[in-house]
């Protein structure tokens, strides 16, 4: 049994918010040490039964539920008239909902079949590329967007993803499904046991996430609803569900949908064995990824150096791999308080290749300019040796294009790297040129894989996701944005993050919850005294103001423990470049 599984390890926290004992000292680890810790954390996703009450991915009951959901999808694939499979979530969960719905619709298109997948992301398509945390708190918005997508449908399989079993947006959708069982079959995907689902009252609602999850659990016994919620262990950086939560979401949904497609179109009935085998392939892909420990560490080092020197990191991607770059980059703002320009993603083909519901979004601001052309026009001219560029592609992409773009980058900075996947042992000529351009390349050679099979690409994607997550997190660790294994510069921009920020203050200061919340509010509003006007507002209003506040948790923590005014703390923090070191120096 791992330490986190013990009933007295951080008992008030759900698994998704616990701090992982394996990464307690990640803020002091070397790049290679960081990769090793991520490897150990990711391995927890696949841990077999450990003799505790926690359900795991490979448990019989979980596999059986995956098979049952796959059979429901199969029915819709075979008779798609007036039917829909909706994938929905907030933040990373919504981005993956989009990604997976698009990938499986693509495969239906190739088979000349009716497209049955739709996605919903809280905050609309802007949230695919930037953090829009406020809508995650809105259950009515969730319900209305579900209704809109499903207009006129007679049969809907709704898959709501909330890694922490916590987002009110998804709770609102599930509640709506429960009220309309004649049309909707709800599936909840997350990574906490039901009794750890969030029980905080949702303003204006009679339900909490937990109460909805419990209703689903009851209906699950009669197969009228499904609950997929194995534990995958705490995140390497506490609460950062973009990492294991996101990876496990991708694995579960792809395993389910692939099984459904094989049953509907290739005469391979859904079976537990097939599901298990498919999950083992993902496990191997994760192991294989971490065999490149030193290569990944080199990337962390380069990206970390850029961030430390106020340079930037650009991911230049091709095909589906590029979207994983876009996702990873978009998460750095809420997770580390990063600026959009610190780590940016670009995709060949821009919005045409993204193919999102709302179409091109470039007019919404510079962070929505995502095509390679945008990189060429807006980033390349100012690129210097402080900046790092990462090329992300596979053997299916036009390697000459990679060489051309890489050459332009190389004229500006020597810090150019590549992550690529292939099955052919013989390297293409262009690959040799790319290797010459790059400081180092992460060359994933998947021997024995069949590139024509979609499932192999899914594993390449997971591998890319892991690398990018480790690189962006590792770089921010080197920049000093992590304290022990906590994101100290987390944005308090919705109720979950507001609570997390308060808890972090409690943990690091040892003070009472009320005192910590007060300190957090003072930092959010930039006020040394709280007025009645402030204290009478609710969390939604606080979270709104927090969007424009910077370094709220560090400010609150230092002023709480030193008694200094916010202005004093602010200037002291400004004098020190590395936030983590500043905290260690300033705290009594
Ligand atoms: C949704 C989410 C995360 C994001 C951040 C805020 O979480 O947007 O994806 O990284 O933590 O919340 P969940 O509903 O999937 O738990």
CA of 357 to the centre of ligand 1 (A): 21
Give 186-207 pLDDT, tens digit per residue. 999 999 999 999 999 999 999 9
Q: Is 92 in the pocket of ligand 1 (CB under 6 A)?
A: yes
Ligand 1 binding pocket includes 229 (Cβ within 6 Å): no
Beta strands in 193-326 (DSSP E): 226-228, 313-317
Could you list the beta-strand ranges (E) of 330-375: 343-347
Q: How far is the CA of 161 from the centre of ligand 1 (A)?
A: 10
Q: DSSP letter for 200, please.
A: P
Name the pLDDT band for 286 (thresholds 50, 70, 90).
very high
Q: What pLDDT score was predicted for residue 451?
A: 52
For residue 343, give both structure tokens: 């780590």
Indicate the average pLDDT of the chain: 95
Nearest CA to 542 out of 501, 488, 489 is that of 501
- Whether 27 and 18 have beta carbons less than 8 Å apart is answered as no
Pocket test for ligand 1, best of 95, 99, 136 (most atoms within 8 A of CB): 136
469 lines ligand 1 (CB under 6 A): no
* DSSP-derived 3-state class of residue 414: coil
Q: Where are the domains of the chain?
A: 60-229+240-270, 289-480, 488-586
Q: What is the pLDDT of residue 454?
A: 62
Nearest CA to ligand 1 atom 12: 91
- Of 2, 84, 96, 99, the C-alpha closest to 41 is 2
Distances (CA, A) of 223 to 69, 100, 154, 187, 263: 10, 24, 18, 10, 20
Q: What would the mean pLDDT of 478-491 be, rounded to a whole number?
A: 92
Our mutation pick for probing the ligand 1 site, out of 127, 167, 249, counting the most ligand atoms within 8 A of Cβ, is 167
- Does the beta carbon of 242 lie inside 6 Å of ligand 1? yes
Which atom number of ligand 1 is nearest to the Cα of residue 239?
11
**CA 93–ligand 1 middle distance (angstroms):** 7
More confident residue, 501 or 133: 501
Quickly state the pLDDT bin for 449 (edges 50, 70, 90): low
Report whether pLDDT(452) > 60. Answer: no
Residue 221: pLDDT over 90: yes
Quote the CA–CA distance of 386 and 552 in Å, as a whole number.
Answer: 28
Mean pLDDT of 327-336: 91
Burial class (CB in 10 A: 0-12, 13-18, 19+), 352: exposed
Q: Are 86 and 158 in contact (CB under 8 A)?
A: yes
Q: What is the whole-number distance in angstroms between the Cα of residue 587 and the centre of ligand 1?
A: 30
Q: What is the mean pLDDT of residues 234-249?
A: 97
In 234-322, beta strands by DSSP E: 313-317
% of the chain at pLDDT higher than 70: 99
| pLDDT band with cut points at 50, 70 and 90 for residue 133 | confident
> Is 91 a pocket residue for ligand 1 (Cβ < 6 Å)?
yes
Q: In this structure, which residue's CA is closest to atom 6 in ligand 1?
A: 91
Angle between helices 399-410 and 429-437 (to 10 degrees): 20
> What confidence tier does 100 reach under pLDDT thresholds 50, 70, 90?
very high
Task: Give the distance (Å) from ligand 1 centre to CA of residue 326.
Answer: 16
In CATH, what number does 60-229+240-270 get?
3.40.50.10490
Distance of CA 444 from the midpoint of ligand 1 (Å): 29
Pocket lining: 248 vs ligand 1, CB cutoff 6 Å:
no
**Dist. CA 352 → ligand 1 center (Å):** 27
Q: How far is the CA of 240 from the centre of ligand 1 (A)?
A: 8
DSSP 371: B
pTM attached to this predicted model: 0.96
Q: Which of 233-242, 301-310, 549-558 has the lowest mean pLDDT?
A: 549-558
pLDDT tens, position by position, 513-552: 999 999 999 999 999 999 999 999 999 999 999 998 989 9
| Integer CA distances (angstroms), 387 to 123, 177, 213, 257, 447, in order | 31, 48, 46, 39, 33
What is the Cα–Cα distance from 87 to 100, expressed in whole angstroms?
A: 8
Encoded tokens for 259: 């099984």
> What pLDDT, in 10s, does the model give residues 141-188?
999 999 999 999 999 999 999 999 999 999 999 999 999 999 999 999
CA of 48 to the centre of ligand 1 (A): 26
Q: What residue owns the CA closest to ligand 1's atom 4? A: 91
Q: Are 203 and 538 in contact (CB under 8 A)?
A: yes
Please give the distance, rounded to the nearest whole angstrom, from the Cα atom of residue 272 to the centre of ligand 1. 30
- Is the CB of 23 within 6 Å of ligand 1? no
Q: d(Cα 158, Cα 362) in Å, to the nearest integer?
A: 30
Torsion from C-alpha of 499, 501, 504, 510, nearest 10 degrees: -80
What percentage of the chain reaches a pLDDT higher than 90?
Answer: 89
Computed from CA positions of residues 136, 493, 584, 482, in that sequence, does the dihedral angle turn out positive or negative?
Answer: positive
For residue 36, how far is its CA from the centre of ligand 1 (angstroms)? 25
Please tell me the distance from the alpha carbon of residue 437 to that of residue 340, in angstroms, as a whole number: 27
Average pLDDT rounded to a whole number, residues 96-115: 97
Predicted pLDDT at 357: 96
Residues forming a β-bridge with 190: none
- pLDDT at residue 253 tops 60: yes
Looking at the DSSP bridge assignments, the partners of residue 441 are 418
Q: What is the pLDDT of residues 375-424, one digit of tens each?
A: 999 999 999 999 999 999 999 999 999 999 999 999 999 999 999 999 87
Asked if 360 and 371 touch (Cβ cutoff 8 Å), the reply is no
**CA separation for the pair 380, 180 (Å, rounded):** 52
Asked if residues 26 and 509 have their Cβ atoms less than 8 Å apart, the reply is no
Q: pLDDT value at position 541?
A: 94
Q: How would residue 450 be classed by pLDDT, with cut points 50, 70 and 90? A: low
* Architecture (CATH level 2) of domain 488-586: Orthogonal Bundle (1.10)
Tokens of 219: 């209906």
Would you state the pLDDT for residue 583? 85
Neighbours of 273 (CB within 10 A): 9
Closest CA to 6 of 66, 71, 50, 45: 50
Run of H or E including 500: helix 495-509
Q: Which of 253, 251, 299 is nearest to 463 (CA)?
A: 251
Residue 588 binned pLDDT confidence (cut-offs 50, 70, 90): confident
Q: Are 392 and 318 in contact (CB under 8 A)?
A: yes
Residue 395 CB contacts under 8 Å (≥ 6 apart), including other chains: 420, 421, 422, 423, 424, 428, 451
Q: How far is the CA of 191 from the centre of ligand 1 (A)?
A: 12
- How many Cα neighbours within 13 Å face the side chain of 558? 26
166 lines ligand 1 (CB under 6 A): yes
**How many Cα atoms sit within 13 Å of 271 on the Cβ side?**
6
Q: Is 173 in the pocket of ligand 1 (CB under 6 A)?
A: no
CA gap 415, 410 in Å, rounded: 8
Q: Is the CB of 167 under 6 A from ligand 1?
A: yes
Q: Looking at ligand 1, which residue's alpha carbon is closest to its atom 14?
A: 162
In 447-553, the DSSP E strands lie at: 482-483, 486-487
Contact 321, 393 (CB under 8 A): yes
Is 69 close to ligand 1, i.e. is its CB under 6 Å away?
Answer: no
Residues ≥6 apart with Cβ < 8 Å to 508: 483, 486, 557
CATH class entry, domain 289-480 = alpha beta
Q: What is the pLDDT of residue 285?
A: 96
Q: Is the CB of 246 under 6 A from ligand 1?
A: no
Q: Which two tokens stand for residue 243?
A: 């990492």
- Does this chain's domain 289-480 share its CATH topology with 488-586? no
- The pLDDT-based confidence of 453 (bands split at 50, 70, 90) is low
Confidence of residue 6 (pLDDT cuts 50, 70, 90): very high
- Residue 569 — φ and ψ, nearest 5°? -65, -40
Ligand 1 near 241 CB (within 6 A): yes
């Amino acid at each position: 049994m791992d330490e986190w599984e013990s009933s007295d390890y951080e008992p008030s926290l759900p698994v998704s918010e616990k701090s992982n004992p394996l990464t307690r000292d990640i803020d002091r680890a070397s790049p290679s040490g960081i990769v090793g810790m991520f490897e150990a954390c990711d391995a927890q996703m696949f841990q077999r039964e450990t003799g505790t009450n926690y359900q795991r991915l490979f448990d019989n009951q979980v596999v059986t539920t995956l098979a049952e959901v796959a059979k429901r999808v199969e029915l819709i694939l075979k008779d798609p008239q007036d039917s829909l499979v909706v994938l929905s979530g907030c933040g990373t969960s919504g981005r993956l909902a989009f990604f997976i719905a698009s990938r499986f619709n693509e495969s239906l298109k190739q088979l000349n079949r009716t497209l049955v997948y739709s996605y919903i992301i809280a905050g609309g398509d802007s949230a695919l590329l930037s953090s829009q945390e406020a809508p995650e708190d809105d259950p009515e918005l969730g319900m209305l967007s579900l209704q809109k997508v499903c207009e006129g449908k007679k049969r809907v399989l709704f898959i709501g993803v909330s890694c922490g079993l916590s987002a009110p947006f998804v709770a609102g959708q599930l509640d709506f499904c429960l009220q309309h069982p004649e049309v909707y079959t709800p599936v909840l995907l997350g990574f906490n046991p039901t009794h750890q689902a969030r029980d905080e009252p949702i303003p204006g609602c009679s339900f909490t996430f937990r109460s909805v999850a419990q209703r689903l659990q009851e209906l699950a016994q009669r197969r009228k609803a499904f609950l997929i919620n194995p534990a995958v262990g705490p995140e390497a950086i506490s609460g950062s569900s973009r990492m294991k939560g996101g990876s496990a979401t991708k694995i579960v949904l792809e395993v389910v949908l692939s099984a459904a497609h094989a049953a509907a179109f290739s005469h391979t009935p859904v079976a537990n064995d097939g599901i298990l085998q498919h999950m083992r392939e993902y496990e191997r892909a994760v192991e294989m990824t971490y065999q490149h420990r030193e290569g990944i560490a080199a990337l962390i080092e380069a990206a970390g150096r850029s961030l430390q020197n106020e340079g930037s990191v650009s991911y230049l991607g091709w095909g589906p791999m590029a979207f994983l770059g876009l996702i990873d980059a978009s998460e750095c703002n809420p997770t580390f308080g990063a600026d959009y320009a610190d780590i940016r993603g670009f995709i060949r083909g821009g919005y045409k290749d993204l193919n999102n519901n709302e179409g091109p979004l470039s007019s919404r601001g510079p962070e929505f300019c995502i095509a390679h052309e945008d990189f060429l026009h807006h980033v390349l001219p100012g690129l210097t040796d402080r900046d790092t560029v990462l090329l992300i592609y596979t053997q299916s992409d036009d390697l000459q294009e990679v060489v051309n773009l890489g050459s332009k980058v190389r004229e500006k900075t020597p810090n150019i790297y590549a992550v690529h996947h292939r099955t052919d042992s013989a390297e293409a000529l262009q690959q040799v040129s790319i290797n010459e351009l790059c400081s180092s390349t992460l060359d994933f050679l998947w021997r024995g894989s069949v590139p024509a099979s979609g499932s192999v690409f899914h594993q390449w994607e997971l591998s890319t996701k892991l690398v990018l997550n480790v690189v962006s997190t590792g770089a921010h660790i080197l920049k000093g944005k992590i304290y022990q294994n906590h994101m100290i510069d987390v944005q308090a921009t919705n109720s979950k993050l507001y609570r997390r920020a308060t808890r972090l203050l409690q943990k690091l200061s040892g003070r009472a919850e009320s005192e910590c919340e007060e300190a957090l509010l003072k930092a959010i509003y930039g006020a040394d005294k709280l007025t009645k006007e402030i204290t009478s507002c609710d969390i939604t209003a606080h979270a709104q103001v927090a969007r424009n506040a910077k370094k709220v948790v560090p400010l609150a923590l230092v002023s709480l423990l030193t008694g200094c005014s916010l202005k004093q703390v602010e200037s002291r923090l400004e004098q020190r470049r590395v936030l983590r070191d500043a905290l260690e120096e300033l705290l009594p």
